[in-house]
Amino acid sequence: MTTTYWAADIETMPREHMERLQFELLAETLRSCLQVPHYREGLARVGADPRDVRTPDDLAALPFIDKSTLRSLQPWGIQAVPLEDVARLNATTGTTGLPCNIAFTRSDLDNIGELGARNLTAMGLRSSDVAWQCYGYGLWIGGSSLDRAYERIGATAFPAGPGRTSLAVERLRDLGVTVISCTPTFALLLVERARAAGIDPATDWNLRVGIFGGEAMTPAALARLSEAMPAGFRAHNTYGTTELGGPFVAGTCEHAAQQGTFHVWADHHLIEILDPDTGERITEPGVRGELVVTSLQRQGSPMLRWRTRDLTSWVEDSWACPCGRVAHPKISWISGRTDDVLKVRGSLVMPSQVEDVVCSTAGTGAGWQLVVDRDPEGLRATEATVVVELVAGADPEVAGELADRLRDRLGIRLPVVTAGPGELPRYEGKARRVLDRAELADVAPAVAARLAVDDHRPSDAMAR
């Protein structure tokens, strides 16, 4: 693929020039933050003078903001401009609690279109593409942001939103759609429904690019999805949050997509990767930590050291991508969240680790869940069971193989319980992979009943 740029001057800027630009923009951001009582009081509390922040080490002296703090500041959050300058208010999804309102000026909305155009161009999109857009609308920012990006590059877009799967699998065939934007879980659901309707995505669809985001997904899961698509299909990853201004904080180029990394747009986002327990800055490649982001060009709701809770790492060529975007650093795809980590029999387990093993094991289907026993004393889990669908005709021994592979990956042996095709829930938005027993009973009562029966069998029979 030939590398193309939407804004070549800023995308190919030398790193040293970008670092100077970042701290010029940071000074403006800090002046804007002084208009917000929460920031003003926080800076005063730690004795930080915005005029003294000139290096990353200086940034470390500034206070964080996180989701719990943002919720406590609702309904108006951290609005830094008068209401008459706010063009739009979006809200977070509320997946982990009270939705939070985030303000956008007209300049902020223009920047969403600009960053989206950069992302899409780096992914190889062009004005001749036809896109099926499945991210949600309403108060959430995902769908409207993709619309802005498609409009900016001149592509033809269908604002379908999530759901309507039967219509989607037919339209993807009948309209010659070349691009789809959705969660990876929804894409897998579309593949499953297409096959059930006698439509083969590999031959009946014309998709060549998938723009996936909204949830963590492992390379193994993306590989499984790509295998179902037409020859030459490329799965790309985009990352962002409503708090940070939309889904275009980072995105893949053709090299990053193969590598499992994405570029952070450094003229809009100053990032740190920190040890989530100590707060110490991580600089070594491959060491996982929490992504912390300071916005550099946000007017409505600027974010100062936003704790995303998302886990990532620097990579060996973070500042040397062959695509030429050397000043926009690459980080690894999000592997999970600090609040997703489960403690099972004293060992830490992440759902992304389980997904990677499930999706790379032949014979497993699209549905899987991590079912936990909640600890009344505060830990996320004391026991967990992997429930996984097997494809029709799969060897029952797949469950034993999966249990062995999970033990090798996690260091502990988790029970594996199998389900038939279609017995586990499907997700049109963000997947909920971790459920407790009561939640599983609500969405898959037959499977929950079998799981309860298995509890009374000898422990070595659980990992079947």
383-390/364-373 β-pairing: antiparallel
d(C-alpha 39, C-alpha 31), whole Å: 10
DSSP letters spanning 388-448: EEE-TT--TTHHHHHHHHHHHHHSSPPPEEEE-TT-S---SSS---EEEHHHHHHH-HHHH
d(C-alpha 221, C-alpha 162), whole Å: 20
1-338 and 341-461 share one CATH topology?
A: no
Query: Which residue stretches of 1-36 are H helix?
Result: 8-11, 15-33
d(C-alpha 36, C-alpha 46), whole Å: 16
d(C-alpha 31, C-alpha 164), whole Å: 46
**pLDDT > 70 fraction of the chain, expressed in percent and rounded:** 94
pLDDT at 462: 37
Residue 385 φ/ψ region, left for φ over 0, alpha for ψ in the -120 to 50 degree band, beta for the rest: beta
Which architecture does CATH list for 1-338? 3-Layer(aba) Sandwich (3.40)
**pLDDT > 90 fraction of the chain, expressed in percent and rounded:** 63
pLDDT digits (tens, 9 = 90+) for 128-178: 999 999 999 988 899 999 999 999 999 999 999 988 899 999 999 999 999
d(C-alpha 122, C-alpha 234), whole Å: 12
| Cβ proximity of 294 and 65 under 8 Å | no
Residues in the chain: 464
Neighbours of 421 (CB within 10 A): 16
> What is the average pLDDT value for the chain, to the nearest integer?
90
**DSSP-based helix, strand, coil % in the chain, nearest 5:** 35, 20, 40
**For residue 364, pLDDT beyond 60:** yes
State the pLDDT confidence band at 458, using cuts at 50, 70 and 90: very low
Q: What is the CATH number of domain 341-461?
A: 3.30.300.30
SS3 label, residue 47 = coil
> What is the value of pTM for the model shown?
0.84
pLDDT digits (tens, 9 = 90+) for 296-329: 999 999 999 999 999 999 999 999 999 999 999 9
Amino acid letter for position 288: R
What does the domain layout of the chain look like in residue ranges? 1-338, 341-461
